[in-house]
Structure 1
Amino acid sequence: MNDATSPAIQSWKVTLPCTRAEAEALDGDIAAFAMMDRPPVLMTSEAEPDDEDAWRLDAYFEGKPSPAAIKLLRSMVPSAARIKPVVEALPDEDWVTISQQGLEPVTAGRFHVRNLASDPEQPGQVNLLIAASRAFGTGQHETTAGCLAMLDRMRRVGMRFGNVADIGTGTGLLAFAALHLWPRAYATASDIDPVAVEISAENALANGMTVGRGQGQVALYAAAGVDHAAIITRAPYDLLIANILAGPLIELAPSLCAMVEEGGTILLAGLLNEQVDSVLAAYRAQGMRLAERADRGDWPTLRLRKRPVIGWKRPRRLNPAARGEAPGFGSI
């Protein structure tokens, strides 16, 4: 996401016809697009009410799509190989919100995440309302759903946490979920994008969460990584969540691990299967060990624990000089 002072980026849409089978194959996250700085949002829909096999693919881009991106889209719908795609600049609208309106609710573990207030709540579930918006983290992405499922499983096996941090929070969803599971915890949520922090505050209000610094409240900060005095002061955390991207996860490994107490837990997501070894190597070098891995498609969620440091000089808090800054990285 751009920060609030950056000039607006023109939005574009690429449209291609496709078959129903091709549309169903696109129902999820496309690994090839995950490496892009601004991956497109893909939407499929029925094109002809009387022809159940006539579908269309709409891909929404921030900025004009490159020839390589269009070529990749075309490769996903072979039936349209001889058809020229429609490439058009969009009016100055919130295209992410428009593209996500009407998404189906997502259930992960005990959590049921709705994008529209008109969607019914699920009895017996923790119902959360995260409207489609300019920030990532509505629950639709496999990484967010994977984190929700992992948090639920951790609670079910009896894990307890009292000081939680969600770095790269996006919409605030994972911080809210953690507070539902451990309601007496202190929660800190941050994002490099000030707009995401504003949206998280709005979502907190919509879900009956209190923004503040006390127990059972979520404290919100705009920061690159953990580069904020309040985030450092509130350390060490016994649970830290980072659902961002593999590159930032690797770069931030020293500062994120320094924020976690001995025996504490880090939840990592936003990486692809082929990036797991590189990410794990960075965290093992900081004294972390892999405790659990759960995959949703191409997207793994990793639960790590910090090994105790034996000896009388065991570090207890983060060195104030370790700022943990990773400029240019935000939440996935």
Structure 2
Amino acid sequence: MSESAVQIIARGPRENAEAAAAAIDADPTLEGATYSILEEDEDRNIWRIDAFPTTAEEVEGLKATLADYPVTVTVEKLADADWLAMSLSGLPPVRAGRFFVYGAHDEGRVPPNAVNLKIDAGAAFGTGHHGTTVGCLEAFDDLLKRERFERVLDVGCGTGVLAIAAARTGSRIAVGTDIDAPSVRIANENAALNQAHASFVHASGLNDQRVRRHGPYDLVFANILAPPLVALSQDIKMALSLGGVAILSGLLRTQERRVTAAYTSRGFRLEKRIHHDAWSALVLRRMG
């Protein structure tokens, strides 16, 4: 992280913070912006947005968007240090159903009765701590109680944790794709680290031959953002077999209706919602 790197923090009541986060998602110029939203103080109803812009344009765009909402915004300079590694070293392991996600600093805390996933985040999203990733793993765990998935696709794989979870629980084919080349490299390293037969490719879209050749899939994970989830609804449908399941996340609760409508209009049935803080994970089955 360079000396000019900054973190933008916005605080306010839940409804204000969620509205501001939805505005970030809706702005096409901020489509690649990295941020999180969580409850900071339950008693005082204070929610917090942490944004990590990577360009000067993102800094100005985020500040302008947040200025339209009744939240308190501060900008803090990030020190020239390995801030990601330091922050991960303080994160506890995560339990989501049968899955236990941990980092190298928690090697000695691995339980014997879980599907243990050792994940190195590097520069990729998906340590298991974010509410969207936890929701996806919990949804998958619930589905595995009743059915199995031979072919699994992870769209926007990040660290690869979801495809690796599928490979470790019996999926014969587990493929991940991401538009970010470093994420693909990290995901393949994590697959090797976990001795999982999962493979990851650098591709933009689901029509890449390396993705299509393994389809149709029984399950598609897409833990991305609400706008691309809507835009990819037809592609995800075509990637799935009839009766196949899509686990979608990366969306706020306030965006559920929009995303659900895009999929139900294409023949999907909503089976379950999982909420963590302001985030939602949706389980939809292709019926037609």
Shorter-normalised TM range: 0.7 to 0.9
Q: What TM-score do the two structures reach when normalised by structure 2?
A: 0.79
Q: Distance in 2 between matches of 1:63 and 1:98?
A: 22
**Partner SS state of residue 62, structure 1:** coil
Quick one: percent identity of the two aligned structures? 35
Aligned residue in 2 for 1:191 = 178
Task: Confirm whether residue 39 of structure 1 aligns to residue 24 of structure 2.
Answer: no
Match status 1:110 vs 2:98: yes
Deviation at 1:284, TM superposition (A): 1.7
SS of the equivalent of 2:275 reads: strand
Offset at 1:69? 7.2
TM-score by length of 1: 0.69
Work out which of the residue numbers 121, 128, 136 in structure 1 matches 2:125: 136
Distance in 1 (alpha carbons) for counterparts of 2:272 and 2:134: 16
Cα shift at 1:184: 4.6
User: What is aligned with 1:311?
Assistant: none
Tell me if 1:124 matches 2:113. yes
Q: 1:121–1:75: structure 2 CA closer, same or farther, 3 Å change rule?
A: same
1:72-91 superposed matches below 5 A: 75=71, 87-88=76-77, 90-91=79-80
Give the distance between the partners of 2:70 and 2:230, measured in 1 at CA. 32
Secondary structure class of the residue paired with 1:104: coil
Once the two structures are superposed, what CA deviation does each residue of 1:166-195 show, in whole Å capped at 9, x if it has no partner? 1111000000111222x2521111111111
> 1:260, 1:229 → 2: CA distance?
15
CA distance in 1, matches of 2:67, 2:37: 15
Residues of 2 paired with 1:239 and 1:141: CA distance? 21
* CA–CA separation in structure 2 for the residues paired with 1:188 and 1:71: 41
Structure 1: 5+ residue runs without aligned partners? 1-7, 44-56, 78-84, 210-216, 309-332
Query: Contact 1:41 / 1:60 at 8 angstroms: preserved in 2?
Result: no
Deviations 1:93-151 (A, max 9, x none): 55434433321111111111112344411231211111232100100110000000111
Q: RMSD of the TM alignment (CA)?
A: 3.4
Secondary structure of the residue aligned to 1:270 is: strand
Bigger radius of gyration: 1
Using a 3 Å threshold, how does the CA distance of structure 1 residues 103 and 203 change in structure 2: closer, same or farther? same
Distance 1:73 1:282 in 2: 27
C-alpha spacing 1:15/1:160, structure 2 compared with 1 (3 Å): closer
Query: Which amino acid in the other structure matches residue 12 of structure 1?
Result: V
Aligned residue in 2 for 1:147: 136
Aligned residue among 200, 214, 220 for 2:187: 200
Name the structure 2 match of 1:270: 250
Distance 1:31 1:207, change over 3 A: farther
* Structure having the larger proportion of residues in helix: 2
State how many pairs are aligned: 265
Matched, 1:284 2:264: yes
Give the Cα–Cα distance (whole angstroms) in 1 for the partners of residues 9 and 282 of structure 2. Answer: 36
5+ residue gaps, structure 2, are 39-48
Could you tell me how far apart the structure 1 residues matched to 2:158 and 2:274 are? 22
Seen in structure 2, the aligned counterparts of structure 1 residues 195 and 72 have a Cα distance that, compared at 3 Å, is farther
Match of 1:316 in 2: none
**Aligned mates of 1:76, 1:256 — CA distance in 2:** 38
1:74 positional shift: 10
